[in-house]
A and B are shown apart, each in its own frame.
Chain A
Amino acid sequence: MRKSFPGRRIGAAATLLAAAGLTLAACSSPARSTAASTAATGIAPGSGEPSLAGMPGATGTGAAQPSAAPSSAGSMPSMTMSMPMSGAAQTRAGAPVATDSVAVKNFAFAPAAITVKAGSMVTWTNQDADAHTVTSQNGSGPLNSQPLNTGQSYSYTFTKPGTYSYLCTIHPFMTATVTVTP
């Protein structure tokens, strides 16, 4: 028997155990006044939802009727907090490498920072067993490859100077940059 405490990382310790169960006591208030609770055991869309998401299971009985519960207002004040993400950037040693060829291997772009002159064509080649993409960050930018399978390449010719950040959308922890000089 092992003891652990809330707030501590008990799940990680249990990862390789045959099974891990966590029992949490829930609301002790017997009287619950939600509209939802009156819907008994059927599955109903949330109030304001026009229809039920998902698909019927093998023994599904179809969608329940939408809840007629009005969603009285009282909106929460808008909060704009951002999660501190210091150290999120992957550390990379060294200055940008002057090359027009980038390997995609071991779930990383190598070199992770390159520099080329404007007008250069850069080629990425996937050497991993898994597929990767070469995709500009921030939802904009010129790089937009299809998923590259093993051995496949993607090329792009940079015409404007600047720094281009990109990632693999399949494995977004894979990030890198191309610096284009005049």
Chain B
Amino acid sequence: MTRRQLARHAGWFGSAVVLSVTGGEVVSRLADARDAASTAAASPTATGDSGTLRFVQISDSHIGFAGPANTDVTGSFARAIDQVNTLGFRPDFVMHTGDLTHLSTPAQFDQVKQMMSGLDTDRVFTVPGEHDSVDDHGRAYRQSFARGTEGDGWYSFDTHGVHFIALVNTLSLEKLGHLGADQIDFVRRDVAGLPADTPIVVFSHIPLFAMYPQWGWATDDSLQVLNLLKRFASVTALNGHVHQLFTRVEGNVTFHSATTTAYPLPKPGQAPAPTPQVLPARQLHTALGIRTVEYRRSTTPLAITDQELT
């Protein structure tokens, strides 16, 4: 990062983040509050002009899971879809960041694809989780979802001046996620022509930061990709896999782990292993949720809002 980029970056992230609770929803904004629009942007009912980008991230639906942690993951995912469809705005696209299915069976892929075709949006994107590539190196996943992708299913796209990169880090994993040389080369070519002030959003299933390597919550070669993105002033990395909200800022990159629509996992280190957690009855929905992201070119906030399933 250049000195100028650092100064600009500090301008975005160097201030304290203020979390405020209003009406049961936590809204956060920079403490310096450069404009009141920050708060408005976090409101899902805000109406924006056509230059406003709004998209939704959903994750870890685990269609096919059956266990006490959630005896109806299909119902939970259906409610998540309903919630997306009643946000009060139509998202430009919806990204599912993996573990669409629990065991990669053709029936599970068919079911999740049919359910997602009911999302009221222009386009539905996916990246695979390790549960989507059980035993077949992702072949069944790619048969359903890899149209228009490269390599083992990675791709990029642009909208509203933002460059999006969707990565696959669950196919050659051992204990940790893995991207591989081919995919890193793809990112190198993909961003080569982009000006450094292009906002970058990277999607992956497994975190690209070392959230908790002891449980495999990291990607062993992600630094090579992050180095390719160092020259960009704004990089946001959105992942699933860990079934809980988690945010970290490292250099020019802000990482946001999303929660799940299926079942919670323990916080890092607070259980012997990352196994499905059974919550008391009626509390499950508070651990599940969807995420909306809004970006307005003119007023400049990139707002990430997580809300529980209703």
Residues of chain B within 8 A of A12, CB atoms compared: 244-246, 267-268
Q: Is A108 an interface residue (CB 8 A)?
A: yes
Contact of A54 with B126 in the complex, beta carbons under 8 Å: yes
Residues of chain B within 8 A of A93, CB atoms compared: none
Q: Is A11 an interface residue (CB 8 A)?
A: yes
Q: Which of B16, B38, B135, B190 has the most CB of A within 10 A?
A: B135
Residues of chain B within 8 A of A167, CB atoms compared: 174-175
Q: Is B106 an interface residue (CB 8 A)?
A: no
A21-B26 in contact given A69-B193, A83-B218 (Cβ < 8 Å): yes
Contact of B193 with A81 in the complex, beta carbons under 8 Å: no
Contact of B174 with A81 in the complex, beta carbons under 8 Å: no
Chain B: interface size category = 35 or more
Residues 145 to 171 of chain B near chain A (Cβ within 8 Å): 145-150, 155-166
**Does more than half of chain B's interface fall in helix, strand or loop, or is it mixed?**
mixed
The size of the chain A interface, using a CB distance under 8 A, is 98
When A and B form their complex, what is the total count of cross-chain residue pairs whose Cβ atoms lie within 8 Å? 376
Residues of chain A within 8 A of B65, CB atoms compared: 130
Contact with B along A43-58 (1 / 0, CB 8 A): 1111111111111111
**Does more than half of chain A's interface fall in helix, strand or loop, or is it mixed?**
loop
* A110 CB, min distance to chain B CBs, angstroms: 12
* B8 CB, min distance to chain A CBs, angstroms: 7
Q: Is A157 an interface residue (CB 8 A)?
A: no
Residues 209 to 260 of chain B near chain A (Cβ within 8 Å): 210, 213-216, 218-224, 227-228, 233-234, 236, 244-250, 254, 256-257, 259
A56-B158 in contact given A14-B26, A43-B93, A87-B214 (Cβ < 8 Å): no
**A residues lining the B interface (CB < 8 Å):** 1-7, 9-12, 14-30, 32-37, 39-61, 63, 67, 69-76, 79-83, 85, 87-88, 90, 106-108, 129-131, 133, 135, 137-139, 144, 146-147, 167, 169-175
**B residues lining the A interface (CB < 8 Å):** 8, 11-21, 24-31, 34, 38-39, 41-42, 50-51, 53, 65-68, 90, 92-94, 102-103, 113, 116-126, 130-131, 133-135, 145-150, 155-166, 172-176, 188-190, 192-195, 197-199, 210, 213-216, 218-224, 227-228, 233-234, 236, 244-250, 254, 256-257, 259, 267-268, 272-276, 286-287, 289, 295, 297-298, 300-308
